[in-house]
Chains A and B, each alone.
Chain A
Amino acid sequence: MENSTKEEYKIQSFDLETQKLLKTALKDPGSVDLEKVSNVIVDQSLKDQIFSREAGRICYTIIQAEAKQTNGNVFRRNILNRLQQEFKAREETRKRSTQEWVCLVSFICNIFDYLKVNNIPMMALVHPVYDCLFRLAQSDALQNEEEVDCLVLQLHRIGDQLEKMNMQLMDELFNLLRDGFLLQEDLSSMGRLLLLEILEFRAGGWTLSETAQKYYYSEVTD
C-alpha cells in the first residue's frame, strides 16, 4: 500500500480492507459499490476528527474519477444525501456527543470547501453550513471550548467563501460572536481568546495583520 495515498487522504484510521476499497474507488470507481463507499466515508468522518477535516479531498477525487469514467455522479449524490440526513439529525447528535457534532460540522464545511460545481461552491450547502455555525454561536455552545474551537476553525477555512455567498448572514453571525465575547460571562479564557482572534481575522479581511499574528501566535519570551 502506497503510504502517499494514505497520508494524502488521511485514511490511516480505516481498517485495511476499507483502505483497499477506498483506493479502488479512487482509481476505478465503476467497479465498486459507491453507495457503500460514501457511507464508509461519512461514518468515519463522524468519528475521526482528523478525517472529518480532510475527507472533502478524497470525495472530490472520487467524484472526478467517476465523472470521467462513467459520466455518472452516483457517489456525489450519495454523499450529499447522506450528509443531509446527518444534518437533519444534528441536534440529536449534539446532545448525544459533542465530538460527533463537531466532526459533523467539520465534515460539512470540508465538503463545502472541496466539492464545487464549476468552481462555484454548492449553493445548496450554504444555508446548512450557516445553520451549523449559528448553532455553534449560541451561548450554550460558546461555553464549550471544543465547539468554539470548531467554529473558529471553520471560519478560518471557509469564512471568506461563505461571506461571498451571503454577506448578511455572516454579519449576523459575527454580531452573535461579538455579543458572546463581550457579554457572556461563562466563557473560558481560551474561548474568549479564540473569539477575539476570529473577530480580528474577519475585520482584517479574512487575514491576520502582522501585529495580530504576533499577538496571538508568538511565544511570549520572558
Chain B
Amino acid sequence: MSAHQKYRYENDCKPDENRNKGASRWSHCRKRGADGSLRKSHAVEEPVKCSQSSRRPKSFTTPESEGPVSRVKNWGDEVEAEEMRSNVQRDMHRYRRRILEADFPQRDRKISSGSSDSRDSRDSKESSVKGDIETDEATLIRRQKQINYGKNTLAYDGYIKEVPKHMRQPGVHPKTPNKFKKYSRRSWDQQIKLWRVKLHAWDPPAEEGSDVQQIEVIDLGEIMDFELDVECSVDTESKCPTSSGVSLSLAEDSFTGTPKKVMKIEDTEMS
C-alpha cells in the first residue's frame, strides 16, 4: 500500500476522462513511490468502475458487509449505512451497560431516554447468564431497519404520544421487539409482524368516517387473538386519536399486506 494504492483510486474517480492524459498528469506522483510496475497495476484496475468500496484499503472498513452493495454507491447511501452501523454499535454498548446495571441494581435507576428498545430484569437473567446477545452486525442492522419501518408510522407517533413508556401495560400495549435478544429469523419476523399489527390500533382514522375505521380495527384485534392465540386485547375504542382529517399512508414495505389480508379473512368468515 502506498502511492501505489492511492494512485489506483485516484484514477477510479475519473472513469470518463482520457486515461492517457490522466496518466501523464499523475506521472509526477506515480514516479515518487515508483518502481515502474504502477503502470501495469493501472491497466489491471481498468475494469474496476469508480466504486467507493473497492478503493478502501483493508485496514479502513470493517469487513462485515452492510448488506447488498451495489458497485457504484452514492454518498447519500454510504453515509446512511455508516450511520446505521454506528447507531447499532452505540445501542449495543448501551444495552450491555444496562444489562450490567440490572445485575447490580441501584435503587435509583433512571429511566433512560435512549433508543434501546427494551430493558427489564428478564433481559439480564437470560442474556447475562447465557452470555448471549445478538452481536452480528448484519442481523442487527436488518432488525433495526424493520423496527424503523414500524416507528416511522403515524400509528407509532400516536401511540407514544398517548401512552408514556412507564404507563405501558405488558400484553395490552405493543412493545418493540428487542433486537439484541437471540431469536431465529422466523421468530423475529413474526414478532415484528405482531408488533406492527398491534400498532395499527393507533392508526389515525381515515377520512371516510372514524366509526367504520374503529370497528374494523377492533375486529382485526379479535381475529388476531383467535387465530394466533396471542394474549393481547386490543382495546381500541379509547385509543384511536381524534380525527385529524389525515388519511393514513402506510410505509411502503412488506408489512402493509398483513392487516389487509387478515381483514379479508374476516369478511369471508364473519359475514
Contact = CB atoms under 8 A, between A and B. Distances in A.
Contacts of A123: 60-61, 78, 82
Interface in A183-211: none
Interface stretch (A22-30, A48-56, A164-172): A164-172
Interface in A131-179: 131, 134, 137-140, 166, 168-169, 172, 175-176, 179
A30 to B, nearest CB: 14
Contacts of B3: 172
A31 interface: no
Given A80-B79, A166-B60, A134 B87 contact: no
A124 B73 CA distance: 10
A91 B14 CA distance: 8
Nearest to B78: A124
A20 interface: no
Interface string B237-265: 00000000000000000000000000000
Nearest to A84: B75
Interface residues of B, number: 35
A176 B75 CA distance: 28
B69 interface: no
B6 A80 contact: no
A21 interface: no
Nearest to B55: A127
Contacts of A131: 9-10, 13
Given A122-B79, A138-B25, A138-B28, A168 B2 contact: yes
Given A127-B52, A179-B32, A83 B10 contact: no
Contacts of B78: 123-124
A120 B83 CA distance: 10
Given A91-B17, A125-B75, A168 B80 contact: no
Contacts of A84: 74-75
Nearest to A175: B32
Interface in B24-75: 25-26, 28-29, 32-33, 50, 52, 55-57, 60-61, 74-75
B110 to A, nearest CB: 22
Nearest to A118: B86
Contacts of B90: 118
A71 interface: yes
Contacts of A137: 29
Nearest to B84: A117
B111 interface: no
A176 B82 contact: no
B28 A139 contact: yes
Contacts of B28: 138-139
A74 to B, nearest CB: 9
A78 B152 contact: no
A80 B10 contact: no
Interface of A: 71, 73, 76-78, 80-81, 83-84, 87-88, 91, 117-118, 120, 122-125, 127-128, 130-131, 134, 137-140, 166, 168-169, 172, 175-176, 179
Interface of B: 1-3, 6, 9-10, 13-14, 17, 25-26, 28-29, 32-33, 50, 52, 55-57, 60-61, 74-80, 82-83, 86-87, 90, 152
